[in-house]
Amino acid sequence: MRIIIQKSLASRVLIDDEVRGEITKGFVLLVGVTHEDTMEDVVYCARKVGNMRLFDDEDGKTNLALKDVGGDILSISQFTLYGNTRKGNRPSFINAAAPDHASNLYDALNNELRDQGFHVETGEFGAYMQVEITNDGPMTILIDSKQKDL
């Protein structure tokens, strides 16, 4: 599982010009799932997101986590995170999970984050969406469950 975290001041997702999810301060998660991902990957990524310290403390150091600042999450499914660009100029998406598998794990991730006490807004899995992100910093972090610490 790959997750791009963008620290956000305000973000929203639109489908057919209708706002489906919106947050102010918090994280925008762009979530990709691959074939071999399991609930172990979901739990690992949810723990990392929930504890990631990307917000400044009173000394201006990035020591505060999302829960410390009362932030929200906008979670967007994005199979293109598993695009392979090694050959040619058109990405291959063969490493992205099949929709049923990806949807189940994407939903499980959002539920794990909700179980941690976070307010999680989402788009719609598989829909064509416009995502507006006001990236704060800019601050963008990549989490890859296959590169987890042992």
Q: Which residues are catalytic?
A: 80
How do 62-65 and 72-77 pair as beta strands?
unpaired
75 three-class SS? strand
φ/ψ of 17, rounded to 5, equals 65, 15
Residue 17's contacts (CB-CB under 8 Å, 6 or more residues apart) are: none
